[in-house]
Amino acid sequence: MKLQILIIHGGNTFANHSDYIDHIKNIEIDKTRLYSTIEWKQTIPNRLGVNYEVLNPRMPNASYARYDEWKLYFEAVTKVLDNNVILIGHSLGGIFLAKYLSENKFPKIIDALFLLAAPFEENGESLGDFKLGTNFDKLNKQVKKIYILHSEDDPVVPITDSDKYISALPSAELVIFHDKGHFNTEEFSGLVYLIKDL
């Protein structure tokens, strides 16, 4: 039987709808970001091989993500999962998984949780309704192995957020990279190695 991996991608969120509209009105477009690109989320199935089934759902409205909408869709996705799943959350997907698993009972056995360049916010408004609570006991009890991956040169999420995750999840393993930015690369051999080493 193939080992399932579920990847939750990133997105943007705002404190309120008017902040979202202001963002759209004032956005400056870098033409190079409009080119078609391939990221590790698309190449990882081939890199891992035939023993893995990689699921990569598109979460609702990634440009103006709302936690309750993501939660509803995520719970629908969990119905097709097997036990012993690996969960991977990249950026906003990482804080989503941390929040969801801290507040809810996951219906399957989780072999590993990978949080990649995940923002950590308990207070404030920059992440809207994705803000974390302060009780991570439920998350810790549901996951066999937790990895926090971050790059020192991440231009989106400060490296200090990984320290906050380690404080909240002391059993987690911290893996620091030096030159991977926000992990928007075509290949991510470091992640492939960690998954195969489980």
Q: What is the pLDDT of residues 54-94, one digit of tens each?
A: 999 999 999 999 999 999 999 999 999 999 999 999 999 99
Q: Which pLDDT value is given to residue 15?
A: 84
The angle, 0 to 180 degrees and rounded to 10, between the axes of the packed helices 92-103 and 67-78 is 70
Model confidence band, residue 124 (pLDDT cutoffs 50, 70, 90) = low
Report the pLDDT averaged over residues 151-168.
Answer: 95
Model confidence band, residue 135 (pLDDT cutoffs 50, 70, 90) = confident
Q: Which pLDDT value is given to residue 51?
A: 95
Q: Which pLDDT value is given to residue 121?
A: 84
Residue 165 has what DSSP assignment?
H
State in words which class domain 3-196 has.
alpha beta
| 3-class DSSP state of 117 | coil
Report the pLDDT averaged over residues 125-131.
Answer: 80
Sequence-distant (6+) residues with CB within 8 A of 56 are 7, 9, 41, 42
Judge whether residue 137 has pLDDT over 90: yes
- In angstroms, rounded to a whole number, what is the distance separating the alpha carbons of residues 21 and 28? 14
Q: Which pLDDT value is given to residue 81?
A: 96
Q: Which of 2-6, 21-25, 100-104, 127-131 has the lowest mean pLDDT?
A: 127-131
CB contact at 8 A, 143 and 117: no
Tokens encoding 68: 């309750």
Sequence-distant (6+) residues with CB within 8 A of 65 are 11, 12, 13, 59, 92, 128, 130
Q: pTM of the predicted model, to two decimals?
A: 0.94
Q: What is the pLDDT of residues 8-34, one digit of tens each?
A: 999 998 888 898 999 999 988 888 778
Judge whether residue 129 has pLDDT over 90: no
Name residue 141's amino acid.
K
Report the mean per-residue pLDDT for the chain: 93
Judge whether residue 157 has pLDDT over 80: yes
Judge whether residue 108 has pLDDT over 90: yes
